[in-house]
């Protein structure tokens, strides 16, 4: 079993949970996991479907507890482990040797009796509500117990929808909608679902936030619907990071202090690349900005710089891991004097004390292979060029869940020394940066992130470096 972005979009239509962390490949790259993650509820339903293949009989879920331990990523195989423990069924979902979802449930044989349902939830729009933690205090509402049965049968199979009961399936889907679209809404990660049989004479699913643990940003919600009473637990996910505006950055920059710079910034659409572009742009530099996916983001950065009367800005779509001769011709024609290399995959993807060759190879692709090809092409310009290759203090700290990242970064530093010797016209600076506040470093719990404006000191040091 595995999920694709197509699965995400289909489930969004069935559940009406359109949260972009699940179904928007561009926006999700700016959220906490750096890419779309599978709806936890959908993974749970497919696990129950896998178990249901053991019998032809319809069933009622009398009691269920599901813990969404870690995110499930797209296009990667998921293994299902099913066990019978006393009167309970235990289902475990495993991806890349890690337990992702744990389900414990009790079921009974039943004959389903259905009630009329709407195809769509009249209480839910296609855009999730964005609430603050303070807004969520005692927040309550309701959603329809609704289901487009035809879509559900096409996606899950007619046989399974009949077995679980379309009204029960609708209510379970409603939990995903509550978390992803209503409370917490946009800034949410589903953490745990518990429900038990408890019949109510209503076609609505009511919900109410009954407690918030601000130490860990956990929201607890109680819910009652036609078939179940439930407790839902979710993390309040940190919002998308907004870097300093161009107006704020202007206060740090001297007029025309970078006017002699022709700066190529690899990965300028967000994070340190965005800050670097704004700093250099404010100081009068000519800029060539690259982006891999976030076209609107790079347009916003460019427009901000153009808005302060720096017209020497261009941008280039470039996946540095798949670059070709045409891409490098564009760069060579720009003739950069300074290069800032911020290309990176998602950093915090490792598991504690477990080394993944696949993850390491991905870091290596960005930090060594692609960088070396770029440097080789820059050397052919036969001019002096200064290059920033940001390293990390993670090399010194050696966090147990960043083994692949720290090894690749350390090898990147060694590569920089070799490349400087090989190409005397290039000077490569690779400072070990602290943890700076960007999309990459936000966390579900409170961590210390430093102000990324300190990259300005490094930019200035490159101006003065022989």
The contacts of residue 391 (CB under 8 Å, 6+ apart) are: 409, 412, 413, 430, 431, 432, 433
Q: Mean pLDDT over residues 58-73, rounded?
A: 96
What is the reported pLDDT for 242? 87
CA distance linking residue 127 with residue 109, whole number of Å? 38
Neighbours of 73 (CB within 10 A): 20
pLDDT digits (tens, 9 = 90+) for 281-306: 999 999 999 999 989 999 999 999 99
Q: Does pLDDT of 465 surpass 60?
A: no
- Mean residue pLDDT of the chain comes to 93
Q: Mean pLDDT over residues 328-335, rounded?
A: 92
The contacts of residue 232 (CB under 8 Å, 6+ apart) are: 175, 178, 179, 190, 192, 193, 207, 220, 221, 222, 223
DSSP of 126-148, one letter per residue? SS--B--TTTTTT-EEEEE----
What is the reported pLDDT for 428? 96
Q: Does pLDDT of 430 surpass 90?
A: yes
The model's confidence at residue 352, banded by pLDDT at 50, 70 and 90, is confident
Neighbours of 438 (CB within 10 A): 20
Contact call for residues 364 and 373 (beta carbons, < 8 A): no
Return the CATH superfamily for domain 246-464: NAD(P)-binding Rossmann-like Domain (3.40.50.720)
Kindly list the domain boundaries of the chain, sorted by start residue.
5-236, 246-464
Q: Does pLDDT of 110 surpass 90?
A: no
Q: Which of 90-99, 113-122, 431-440 has the highest mean pLDDT?
A: 90-99
pLDDT digits (tens, 9 = 90+) for 127-171: 999 999 999 999 999 999 999 999 999 999 999 999 999 999 999
45 or 383: which leads in pLDDT: 45
Q: Does pLDDT of 116 surpass 80?
A: no
Q: Percent of the chain having pLDDT more than 70?
A: 99
Q: Does pLDDT of 52 surpass 90?
A: yes
Q: Does pLDDT of 183 surpass 80?
A: yes
Which 3-state string (H, E, C) describes 233-252? Answer: EEEECCCCCCCCCHHHHHCC
Neighbours of 97 (CB within 10 A): 9
Q: Does pLDDT of 219 surpass 90?
A: yes
Nearest 5°: phi and psi at 79? -100, 140
pTM: 0.87
Q: Does pLDDT of 114 surpass 90?
A: no
What is the reported pLDDT for 309? 80
Q: Mean pLDDT over residues 353-369, rounded?
A: 92
Fold of 5-236: Thiol Ester Dehydrase; Chain A (3.10.129)
Q: Percent of the chain having pLDDT more than 90?
A: 76
Under DSSP, is residue 84 helix (H, G, I), strand (E, B) or coil?
A: strand
Q: Does pLDDT of 349 surpass 80?
A: no
pLDDT digits (tens, 9 = 90+) for 68-83: 999 999 999 999 999 9
Reported in sequence order, the residue ranges of 111-227 that DSSP labels E, i.e. its strands, are 140-144, 188-197, 204-213, 218-224
What is the reported pLDDT for 268? 94
Q: Mean pLDDT over residues 231-259, rounded?
A: 92
pLDDT digits (tens, 9 = 90+) for 443-464: 777 678 888 899 999 999 998 7
């Amino acid at each position: 079993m595995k999920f694709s972005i197509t699965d995400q979009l289909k489930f969004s239509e069935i559940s009406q949970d359109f949260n972009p962390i699940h179904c928007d490949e561009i926006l999700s790259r700016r959220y906490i996991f750096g890419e779309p993650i599978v709806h936890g509820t959908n993974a749970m339903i497919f696990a129950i479907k896998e178990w249901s293949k053991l019998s032809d009989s319809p069933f009622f879920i009398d009691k269920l507890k599901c813990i969404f331990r870690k995110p499930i990523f797209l296009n990667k195989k998921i293994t299902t482990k099913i066990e019978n423990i006393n009167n309970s069924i235990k289902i475990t979902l495993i991806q890349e040797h890690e337990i992702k979802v744990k389900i414990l449930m009790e079921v009974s044989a039943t004959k389903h009796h259905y009630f009329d349902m709407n195809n769509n939830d009249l209480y839910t729009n296609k855009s999730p509500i964005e609430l603050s933690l303070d807004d969520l205090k005692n927040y309550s509402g309701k959603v329809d117990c609704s289901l487009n049965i035809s879509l559900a049968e096409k996606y899950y199979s007619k046989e399974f929808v009949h077995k679980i009961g379309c009204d029960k399936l609708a209510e379970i889907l409603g939990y995903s909608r509550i978390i992803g679209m209503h409370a917490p809404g946009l800034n949410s990660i589903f953490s745990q679902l518990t429900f038990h049989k408890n019949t109510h004479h209503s076609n609505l699913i009511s919900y109410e936030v009954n407690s918030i643990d601000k130490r860990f940003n956990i929201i607890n919600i109680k819910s009652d619907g036609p078939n179940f009473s439930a407790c839902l637990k979710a993390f309040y996910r940190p919002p998308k990071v907004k870097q300093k505006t161009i107006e704020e950055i202007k206060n740090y920059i001297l007029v025309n202090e970078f006017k002699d710079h022709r700066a190529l910034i690899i990965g300028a659409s967000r994070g340190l690349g965005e800050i670097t572009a704004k700093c250099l742009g404010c100081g009068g530099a000519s800029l060539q900005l690259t982006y891999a996916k976030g076209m609107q983001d790079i347009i916003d950065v460019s427009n901000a710089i153009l808005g302060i009367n720096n017209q020497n800005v261009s941008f280039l779509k470039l996946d540095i891991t798949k670059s070709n001769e045409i891409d490098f011709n564009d760069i060579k024609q720009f003739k950069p004097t300074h290069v800032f290399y911020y290309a990176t995959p998602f950093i915090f993807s490792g598991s504690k004390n477990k080394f993944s060759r696949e993850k390491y190879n991905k870091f290596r692709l960005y930090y060594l292979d692609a960088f070396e090809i770029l440097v080789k092409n820059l050397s052919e310009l036969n001019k002096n060029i200064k290059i920033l290759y940001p390293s990390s203090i993670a090399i010194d700290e050696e966090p147990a869940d960043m083994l692949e990242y720290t090894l690749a970064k350390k090898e990147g530093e060694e590569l920089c020394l070799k490349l400087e010797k090989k190409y005397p016209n290039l000077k490569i600076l690779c400072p070990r940066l602290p943890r700076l506040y960007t999309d990459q470093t936000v966390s579900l719990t409170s961590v210390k992130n430093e102000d990324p404006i300190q990259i300005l000191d490094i930019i200035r040091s490159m101006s003065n470096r022989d």
